[in-house]
A and B are shown apart, each in its own frame.
Chain A
Amino acid sequence: MTIALALDAGLAVLVLAVASWTVGARATFPAVVGFVSYGLLLTLVWVRLGAVDVALTEAAIGSGLTGALLLGAAARLRAGEAPAEERPGAILRLVAAALSATVAAALAAAVLFLPDPAPTLAPAAAENAAATGLGNPVTNVLMAFRAMDTMLEKVVLLLALVGVWSLAPDPLWGGRPSPSHQSDPHGVLAFLARLLPPVGIVVGIYILWAGADHPGGAFQGGTILAAMWLLVMMAGLTEPPPVSRRRLRLVLIAGPAVFLIVGLGGLWLDDAFLAYPVAYAKPLILVIEFAMTLTIAATLGLLLAGPPERKLGR
């Protein structure tokens, strides 16, 4: 048994153990902590599988951002959380167990009876990689071959933000999200929030830029920028903007809008929606990615800031 195999086996066992611990955790807070560590372990799994792009996304979104969202939710729920004392009846538990076993069996069957060789479009994607002038095959697929999916993803993100905002009561509509933390302006957090963002902004933009030829891209870069913005907001150095501000909304729709415009342009200049003229493929993709990064950073930051809780003008 080689060292690499032992490492992979240990990682797999650890992922399974943390997953079952998270499912079994009774209180919300430990479950969230378990979920975050599970995400970090999954990141290592993706690295071991050679999917560094997915690993970056898992660390940034799956573990980091979702973890922060869930932590916020757990903190809000803490006051009203009833101790889990009502136990479901025997029949309900049996039915739930049977359902879970069925789903697990179906999933196992789906994996075990995959056709061999598995259906894949990877050779086709690799063959046409030169058409866009980008060196990273993942970015190629995301931005050119399956651009429609990526564009709709951004629209979904926007819809999620609208969903969060719609939780605001009527009189507060258009106001500022409340700062989630009251902190000492001379404290440690404020110090970190002054020190880290310059580094984080450079790293975020670097990851966006490197995404053309190496693992990285708009989503990962945008998440880092969002994290920097959140850090500054949490430290109380800046206020979250009122959700009715025009400039903010322009930033929020910039990504999907640029994507749509370029896509419609493809309809006019070329022969299909989202078809990039070959000579301009790379610059067009870069323009879309920059607009998307801005939108992603703003959307993710506001998702975490929550619904408006203070009236406008205060």
Chain B
Amino acid sequence: MVRDVFTVLAVTAGGFFFLAGTVGLLRFPDTLTRLHALTKADNLGLGLVVLGLLPRMQGPLGMLKLVAIWLLVQLAGATVSQLIARAARPGGPPP
């Protein structure tokens, strides 16, 4: 019961961050602020979803896999947003 409540709360909070990130991506005025919105969805949103799903996994191996997915998405997201930000910066290299 406690685990269910925890999962529902964490996944809902994660979903909220995804929603907020998407709204930001659509509404923010320029590339850098949009990137800011997007990375929030990636880091916090997915992180909370993963956190909420952790108690659902059967064993520690499944939990490790979930956390590894989150870390890999973080790595990819951070790298890509750096590259996009550099390309978007005035005087930066062409995209």
Contact = CB atoms under 8 A, between A and B. Distances in A.
Interface of A: 188-189, 191-192, 195-196, 199
| Contact residues of A: prevailing secondary structure | helix
- Decide if the interface of chain B is mainly helix, strand, loop or mixed: helix
B19 interface: no
Interface in B59-84: 72, 75-76, 79, 82-83
A188 B72 contact: no
Interface of B: 72, 75-76, 79, 82-83, 86
Contact of A199 (B72, B79, B86): B72
A188 B83 contact: yes
A191 B80 CA distance: 12
B72 A189 contact: no
13 contacts: A188-B79, A188-B82, A188-B83, A188-B86, A189-B79, A189-B83, A191-B79, A192-B75, A192-B76, A192-B79, A195-B75, A196-B75, A199-B72
A184 to B, nearest CB: 9
Nearest to A199: B72
A229 to B, nearest CB: 17
Contacts, number: 13
Nearest to B79: A192
A192 B79 CA distance: 7
Given A195-B75, A196-B75, A199-B72, 10 more contacts: A188-B79, A188-B82, A188-B83, A188-B86, A189-B79, A189-B83, A191-B79, A192-B75, A192-B76, A192-B79
A30 B73 CA distance: 23
Contacts of B75: 192, 195-196
Nearest to B85: A188
Closest 6 CB pairs of A and B: A188-B82, A192-B79, A188-B79, A188-B83, A189-B83, A195-B75
A196 B82 CA distance: 16
B37 to A, nearest CB: 18
B46 to A, nearest CB: 15
Contacts of B76: 192
A196 B75 CA distance: 9
A195 B72 CA distance: 10
B26 to A, nearest CB: 15
A195 B76 CA distance: 11
Contacts of B86: 188
A189 B87 CA distance: 13
Nearest to A182: B93
A189 B75 CA distance: 11
Contacts of A191: 79
Contacts of A192: 75-76, 79
B94 to A, nearest CB: 11
A309 B75 CA distance: 32
A136 to B, nearest CB: 19
